Amino acid sequence: MATVTFVEHDGTAHEMDLVEGESLMQIATENAVPGIDGDCGGEAACGTCHVIVDDAWISKTGARTGQEIQMLDMTPECEANSRLACQVIACQEFDGLRVRLPEFQM
């Protein structure tokens, strides 16, 4: 089974089964990964599912776009590879993907 790993700010890793077609936010919240809120339900409207994609993976997931940029721009922890997990839709190619969580969700 393909997996995706969420690494909390303190280093705790959570390896989850990857469900094709679901967003990383859905995978995280369905599995109660701490540190992903998803307050707006997946519309890039709240900025509370911020993740930072490992460098090795950014070409596969792609960079943030449009509304995501606007929301992430206000977060002090925003990095070059920051994304909103609700806008990253999982596919088989993501098997082994690692994303880090910021210390706080705004």
Partner 1 sequence: MHNKNSVLERTKTRLQTKVQATVPVERQVQAAHMVEKAKRMVGLNEPLVFTERPLPDAEDVPLTELDVSNPFLFRQGKWHSYFKRLRDEAPVHYQANSPFGPFWSVTRYEDIRAMDMNAADFSAEPDIIIGDVPLDIEMFIAMDPPKHDQQRKAVQGVVAPKNLKEMESLIRERVCEVLDSLPTDRPFDWVDRVSIEITGRMLATLLDFPYEERRKLTYWSDTISGIAEATGGSTHQDEFFEATADLARSFMALWHDKEARRQQGEAPGFDLISLMQGSEDTKDMIKKPLEFLGNLTLLIVGGNDTTRNSMTGGVLALNENPDQFEKLKANPSVIPNMVSEIIRWQTPLAYMRRVATRDLHFGGQFIRKGDRLLMWYASGNRDERQFDNPDDFIIDRANARNHMSFGFGVHRCMGNRLAEMQLRILWEELLERFDDIKVIGEPEHVQSNFAKGYSKMMVQLTPKSDA
CB of 54 to partner 1, least distance (A): 23
Among residues 26, 38, 50, 88, the one that binds partner 1 under rule CB under 8 A: 38
Structural tokens at position 2: 């393909």
User: Binder to partner 1 among 45, 56, 63, 80 (CB under 8 A)?
Assistant: 45
Q: Which residues, 6+ apart, have CB-to-CB distance to 31 below 8 Å?
A: 14, 16
Q: Is 81 in the site for partner 1 (CB under 8 A)?
A: no
Using CA atoms, how far apart are residues 77 and 95, in angstroms rounded to an integer?
A: 26
Of 2-10, 15-23, 39-47, 82-90, the segment contacting partner 1 by CB under 8 A is 39-47
CA distance 16 to 96: 10
